[in-house]
């Protein structure tokens, strides 16, 4: 009998990082199916290829560049790949998408030290890179519902509801916004399907409500005030349902690695994201501000964590 | 139901042994009694190889204030005093090895009717009996029962939570020895001069709860029902759950007027003060999926673990881990010749489990949510690996009660507690160096 010497506790919960990542992938799948339905086969292809190549790239970096020979895939590369796919336009050629993915995982994650070490959400780093490198591809949108087999290049282009509103004062129907039958990045358009996925994550206790609630709540308050002052800013419901807010608030800002640890910190983080998003939407040059506000708040997380340290049991108030 | 903030709920695994009445293990042939069978300074041996000793005879005397008497657990002959690996201290410590030559011939402590004895006399008996906290920390009981006069203690809390998975000995004691527990409590109340005692019992031992209630009827001793949650039996968490009082950082229970004792200790106190029996045996649960016949036992101190396991039908040949204590805070041993100590509440043996590889921290904050001390274990782990001990101390390193909830829950399988313990050791050593 060979007895092992182990450290207490000698029991562990079954849960692990892979199960967390798998749940995130499952939670994103309704929106992926929606993307395929609204934007066709290429959208579906980008999602699947994004997840697969993301994970493969992660394995490659860990095994061959960083020399971790017994590296066990954890699914985080797949999550980043899928999220990046959901954050791009279907007009983006695959080679450009791959470049963005390599940038996302390479610069967004591995230069910081890999899983858990990155400051910024890797998918958003990739998206920012693509937006700057390929602005035309990234901001040309296809009309939803052109049919599954239609090539994205042949589909008529459309503006996003936010751009339509900001530039031409045209409103999109709330129902179309809610179910996602509008122009936009392939996974961001359907509030309904994103919420369904998010509820799954909530029920599995993978995320907490604090960041989405404070983020969306702030957008609601901010846009209400702006709307009351001047209706040209758009009404609150429109701001909630359009653009990348739902995808950002439910799935990007909630990334564990790049958001604060404590509940208080998460609320502060969410409020910051909300304020910045609205500031960019209302006063900025871009019609959309979700990704940049999350990236900016990512940078503040160490600071937020420092000032929201929980009070140790038995610590005197003050 | 009373409880505290944080904590986890590991599988209880108590069904293996909770219905097994306490049995007495046959007297061991050889015992190994560590001179350090308590917190504080090791005892000073007062016997030499070749000496004949009787059961209960003093073989070690306390050295210094925080130390305790040692008694021979059997009647026999001292073979040698030798250094063997102490599983808790992690280094070789002197142990008195005694070979049994006959059945028990007892040497009792001088005692009397406790109701007529003075506080000091009772305390002296407890001290002479070598009683230490049987919950596991092995802090000398007579020291705990004599708080400095400026600390106004008004409540005695008895820990019957037994929140560790697998262990059931306290549960059985509360079912089978409730009268002795009551006697022990009344004795300690007298010593402390308190009017109130409360036993905390977790809700998964509801039969024990009802039994104590019945036995305590008419006495100033209450029973509190606690939520089944780990670490419900941790001193500070127990005090908070029962009284709502918060022990200040770096403070002791007596700072909020409380003294905490384990149910097993109550029995030992009764046996010493009423029966004159020194602490030479204790209750031990032997269980785990690798144990053939899990049991609750009374075992003589110094009995090799192997003897105890053999009495339970042995363990599976594929056994991977044997642990002194419960699976959450117990210490794994690789050598079954290690003896049972005064703080050994259980011997648990487990079959192999699938290894779970460690992943980097993904800041999921689970550890922060479950920490009963409101610490940030992920941060303490990071600071410890970076050897930033001072910063770790600022973030509560020394407040960690090492309950292991963070490690238990971590999806990345990071051994926070291991690093925290190491960092504490290093910090203490360097601080001593600076002084």
pLDDT tens-place string over residues B164-186:
999 999 999 999 999 999 999 99
Put simply, the answer to whether A5 touches B404 (Cβ < 8 Å) is no
From the list A11, A262, A314, the residue facing B236 with the nearest CB is A314
* Residue predicted with more confidence, A48 or A136: A48
Contact A254, A212 (CB under 8 A): yes
> Using one digit for the tens of pLDDT, what is the confidence trace for B186-224?
999 999 999 999 999 999 999 999 999 999 999 999 999
Q: Are strands B44-45 and B23-24 parallel, antiparallel or unpaired?
A: unpaired
Give the gap in angstroms from C-alpha A176 to the nearest C-alpha of chain B: 35
Confidence of residue A308 (pLDDT cuts 50, 70, 90): very high
The nearest CA of chain A is from the CA of B153 a distance in Å of 18
Residue A292 corresponds to which tokens in the numbers above? 């940049």
For B244, name the nearest residue in chain A, comparing CA atoms only.
Answer: A314
Half-sphere exposure of A187 (CA within 13 A, CB side): 32
Which of A24, A61, A314 to mutate to test binding with chain B, by most B CBs within 10 Å of its CB? A314
pLDDT by residue (tens digit) across A22-74?
A: 999 999 999 999 999 999 999 999 999 999 999 999 999 999 999 888 888 99
Tell me whether B8 touches chain A (CB under 8 Å).
Answer: yes
Q: In A, what residues contact B, Cβ < 8 A?
A: 1, 3-13, 15-17, 19-20, 72, 74, 76, 113-117, 256-257, 259, 261-262, 309-316
Share of chain B above pLDDT 70, in %: 99
Q: If pLDDT is split at 50, 70 and 90, which confidence band does A150 have?
A: confident
pLDDT tens per residue across span A192-214: 999 999 999 999 999 999 999 99
Chain B 384-403, residues with CB within 8 Å of chain A CB atoms: 395-396, 399, 402
Q: Which residues contact B206 (CB under 8 A, 6 or more apart)?
A: B225
pLDDT at B284: 97
What are the angstrom distances between the C-alpha of A16 and each of A52, A74, B366, B379, B409?
20, 9, 12, 19, 9
Nearest-neighbour CA in chain B from A273: distance (Å) = 19
Nearest CA in chain A to B327: A10
Q: How confident is the model at residue B394 (pLDDT cuts 50, 70, 90)?
A: very high
Of B4, B2, B1, nearest in space to B234 by CA: B4
**B79: three-class secondary structure by DSSP:** strand
Report the predicted TM-score, pTM, of the whole model to 2 decimal places. Answer: 0.92
Q: How many CB atoms lie within 10 A of CB B124?
A: 16
pLDDT in tens, A166-196: 778 787 888 888 988 888 888 888 999 999 9
Average pLDDT score, chain B: 94
For residue B120, what are its two tokens?
């000091």
How far from chain centre, in Å, is Cα B171? 14
Q: Are strands B281-287 and B196-202 parallel, antiparallel or unpaired?
A: unpaired
User: Which value does ipTM take for this structure?
Assistant: 0.90
- Residue of chain B with shortest Cα separation from A16: B411
At residue B269, does pLDDT exceed 90? yes
Residues of A in contact with B374 (CB under 8 A): 310-313, 315
Q: What is the CA radius of gyration of chain B?
A: 21
Tokens of B430: 């360097």
Per residue in B272-326, pLDDT tens? 999 999 999 999 999 999 999 999 999 999 999 999 999 999 999 999 999 999 9
The tokens for B111 are: 């005692």
User: What percentage of chain B carries pLDDT values higher than 90?
Assistant: 93
Q: Which helix (H) or strand (E) holds B100?
A: strand B91-100
Candidate from B251, B332, B363 with C-beta closest to A10: B332
Which chain A residue is nearest to residue B378, measuring alpha carbons?
Answer: A261
The residue of chain A with its CA nearest to that of B251 is A314
Q: Which of B362, B398, B413 to mutate to test the interface with A (most CBs of A within 10 A)?
A: B362
Q: First vs last Cα of chain A: how many Å apart?
A: 55
Residues of A in contact with B378 (CB under 8 A): 261
**Predicted pLDDT of residue A79:** 97
Kindly report, residue by residue over B355-393, the tens digit of the pLDDT.
888 999 999 999 999 999 999 999 999 999 999 999 999
B134, B264 contact by CB (below 8 A): yes
């Amino acid at each position: 009998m060979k007895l092992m010497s182990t450290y207490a506790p000698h029991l562990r919960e079954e849960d692990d990082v892979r199960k967390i990542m798998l749940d995130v992938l499952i939670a994103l799948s309704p929106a992926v199916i929606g993307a395929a339905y609204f934007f066709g086969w290429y959208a579906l292809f980008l999602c699947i290829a994004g997840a697969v190549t993301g994970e493969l790239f992660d394995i490659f970096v860990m095994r061959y560049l960083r020399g971790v020979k017994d590296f066990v895939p954890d699914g985080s590369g797949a999550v980043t790949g899928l999220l990046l796919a959901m954050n791009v336009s279907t007009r983006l050629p695959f080679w450009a998408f791959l470049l963005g993915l390599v940038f996302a995982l390479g610069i967004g994650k591995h230069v910081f030290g890999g899983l858990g070490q990155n400051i910024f959400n890797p998918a958003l780093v990739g998206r920012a890179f693509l937006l700057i490198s390929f602005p035309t591809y990234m901001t040309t949108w296809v009309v939803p519902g052109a049919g599954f087999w239609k090539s994205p290049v042949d589909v008529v282009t459309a503006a996003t509801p936010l751009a339509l509103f900001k530039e031409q004062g045209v409103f999109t129907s709330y129902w179309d916004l809610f179910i996602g039958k509008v122009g936009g990045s392939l996974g961001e358009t359907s509030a309904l399907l994103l919420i369904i996925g998010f509820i799954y994550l909530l029920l599995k206790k993978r995320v907490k409500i604090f960041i989405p609630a404070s983020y969306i709540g702030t957008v609601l308050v901010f846009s209400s005030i702006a709307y009351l002052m001047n209706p040209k800013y758009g009404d609150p419901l429109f701001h909630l349902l359009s653009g990348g807010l739902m995808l950002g608030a439910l799935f990007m800002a909630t990334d564990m690695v790049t958001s604060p640890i404590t509940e208080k910190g998460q609320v502060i983080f969410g409020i910051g994201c909300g304020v910045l998003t609205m500031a960019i939407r209302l006063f900025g040059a871009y019609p959309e501000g979700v990704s940049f506000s999350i990236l900016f708040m990512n940078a503040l997380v160490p600071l937020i964590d420092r000032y929201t340290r929980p009070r140790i049991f038995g610590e005197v108030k003050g | 139901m009373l409880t505290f903030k944080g904590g986890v709920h590991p599988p209880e695994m108590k069904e293996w042994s909770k219905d097994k009445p306490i049995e007495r293990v046959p007297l061991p042939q050889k015992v190994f009694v560590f001179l350090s069978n308590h917190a504080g300074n090791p005892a000073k041996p007062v016997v030499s190889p070749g000496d004949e000793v009787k059961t209960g005879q003093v073989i070690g005397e306390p050295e210094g204030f925080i130390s305790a008497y040692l008694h021979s657990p059997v009647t026999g002959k001292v073979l040698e005093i030798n250094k063997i690996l102490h599983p808790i201290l992690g280094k070789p410590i002197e142990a008195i090895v005694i070979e049994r030559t006959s059945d028990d011939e007892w040497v009792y402590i001088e005692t009397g009717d406790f109701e007529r004895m003075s506080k000091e006399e009772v305390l002296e008996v407890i001290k002479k009996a070598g009683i230490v906290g049987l919950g596991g920390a092995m802090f000398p009981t007579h020291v705990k029962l004599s708080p400095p006069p400026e600390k106004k203690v008004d409540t005695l809390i008895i820990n019957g939570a037994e929140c560790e998975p697998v262990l059931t000995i306290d549960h059985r004691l509360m079912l089978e020895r409730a009268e002795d527990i009551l006697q022990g409590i009344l004795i300690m109340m007298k010593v402390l001069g308190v009017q109130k005692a409360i036993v905390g019992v977790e809700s998964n031992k509801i039969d024990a709860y009802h039994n104590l209630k019945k036995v305590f009827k008419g006495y100033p001793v209450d029973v509190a029902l606690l939520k089944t949650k780990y670490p419900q039996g941790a001193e500070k968490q127990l005090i908070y759950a029962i009284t709502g009082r918060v022990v200040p950082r770096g403070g002791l229970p007596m700072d909020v007027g409380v003294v905490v004792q384990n149910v097993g200790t109550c029995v030992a106190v009764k046996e010493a003060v009423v029966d004159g029996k020194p602490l030479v045996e204790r209750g031990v649960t032997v269980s785990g999926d690798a144990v053939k016949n899990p049991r609750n036992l009374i075992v003589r101190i110094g009995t090799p673990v192997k003897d105890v396991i053999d009495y339970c039908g042995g363990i599976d040949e594929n056994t991977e881990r044997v642990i002194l204590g419960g699976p959450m805070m117990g210490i794994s041993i690789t050598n079954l010749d290690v003896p049972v100590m005064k703080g050994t509440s259980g011997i648990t043996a487990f079959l192999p489990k699938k290894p779970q590889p460690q992943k980097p921290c993904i800041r999921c904050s689970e550890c922060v949510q479950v920490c009963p001390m409101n610490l940030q274990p992920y941060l303490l782990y990071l600071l410890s690996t970076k050897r930033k001990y001072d910063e770790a101390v600022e973030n509560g390193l020394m407040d960690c009660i090492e309950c292991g909830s963070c490690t238990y829950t971590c999806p990345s399988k990071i051994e926070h507690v291991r690093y925290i313990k190491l960092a504490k050791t290093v910090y203490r050593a360097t601080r001593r160096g600076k002084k």
